[in-house]
Homo-oligomer: A and B are copies of this chain.
Amino acid sequence: MGKPGKPRPVTPADSGRRMQMADLARLAGVSTSTVSRALSGSELINPETRERIQTLARKFNYTINSVATGLRSGVQRTIAVIVPFEKASRQSFADPFLHGMIGSLADALTERGYEMLLSRIDADQLDTVAALIDSGRAAGVILIGQWRHHDQLNAMAARGLPLVVWGAHLPHQDYCTVGGDNVRGGRLVAEHLLAQGRRRMVFLGDCGLPEVAQRYRGFTAGLRAGGVGLPAQQRKTVPFLAESGRKAMLALIDANPALDAVFASSDLLAMAAVGALRERQRQVPADVAVVGYDDVELAAHFNPPLSTVRQPIHEAGTALVDALLMMLNGKPAPASALLETRLIVRESSQSTPAP
């Protein structure tokens, strides 16, 4: 090997500056081109040199600056996941369903080598979403829930922004959605409750949101098929917030003392409803059956265990990410997807409680 005579340059970046490729090149006595190729494992570089440079990089904790790489290559491996919230109600982020969705998206993105930029934004300023892409901070956007902003989403899609939305598929929709079959979900609940002999139902949820509206449609259609109606005093418009759910349920009980079943458009609302029923000395499920929506993890561990419509959260994350990556690869925007939706019957809606 060489003689120890040559004075090794001292750590180049010990001025507190972040180490960069030029420093490593100086240390290795080569050019940055060589370092770049060595670190990327190029065959052009002499295996010994390559190994030496890689060792050096490890030793100095050098990692290629991905901002510079991103600029040069023009590719972005960051996806923005947006959780819109309504300023008025501060609604949305509290829902455990969202939590599951975010976890699932995190997994799907990581698996495919993407990073996740998570952002809550005011639903009234959805256009800031476009800026995320225009400014190159994210390659594409996954939006959780379309809320009341169908038209804005259509406009964004028209601009060609890579966008996928978790939510309902609507008529005249130019953007791509992935979601459960809400109409079917609502119908399943109606059929189940009818089969349990329930007749005086109430509904909790905000039909101003497309997903909820579809669940409601399926639910009332199912009831109608069984000869049961759902007059106005048997439903209550309420945001996805536990406390609102509790208050709304109390009001519904007072307005319908004889009610025997509740369909809540989310598990969170269903849980709040159970609390309200308890406050009014109603037994669940003996007096009143309760069915939620989403099948969040806690639903199975609630007291009593909650019947609910399962949204396949894991598949949802995968489907959302795959749809978006397709758009990013220039393939035609995939058609909106409807994921499997099924009813999970637990104790909260059974006429004869499990032993």
Segment of A22-30, A131-139, A209-217 engaged in the interface with chain B: A131-139
- Cβ distance A336 to chain B, nearest Cβ, rounded Å: 13
Contact assessment for B117 and A116 in the assembled complex, using a CB-CB cutoff below 8 Å = yes
Q: Is A242 engaged at the interface, CB distance under 8 Å to the other chain?
A: yes
| Known contacts A63-B131, A130-B61, A303-B303; A96/B96 CB under 8 A | yes
A96 CB contacts on chain B under 8 angstroms: 96, 99, 298
Interface size bracket, A side:
35 or more
Residues in chain B near residue A112, CB distance under 8 A: none
Minimum CB–CB distance from A264 to chain B (whole Å) comes to 12
A326 beta carbon closer than 8 Å to chain B = no
B136 touches A18 (CB 8 A): yes
B63 contacts A135, C-beta separation under 8 Å: yes
- At the interface, yes or no: A305 with Cβ under 8 Å from chain B? yes
Q: Which of B120, B160, B300, B304 contacts A107 (CB 8 A)?
A: B120
User: What are 28 pairs between A and B in contact, CB < 8 Å?
Assistant: A63-B134, A64-B135, A65-B136, A66-B135, A66-B136, A71-B71, A78-B117, A93-B106, A94-B297, A99-B99, A102-B102, A102-B118, A106-B118, A110-B120, A115-B117, A115-B119, A115-B137, A116-B118, A116-B119, A118-B118, A268-B298, A271-B302, A272-B301, A274-B303, A275-B305, A278-B304, A302-B302, A303-B304
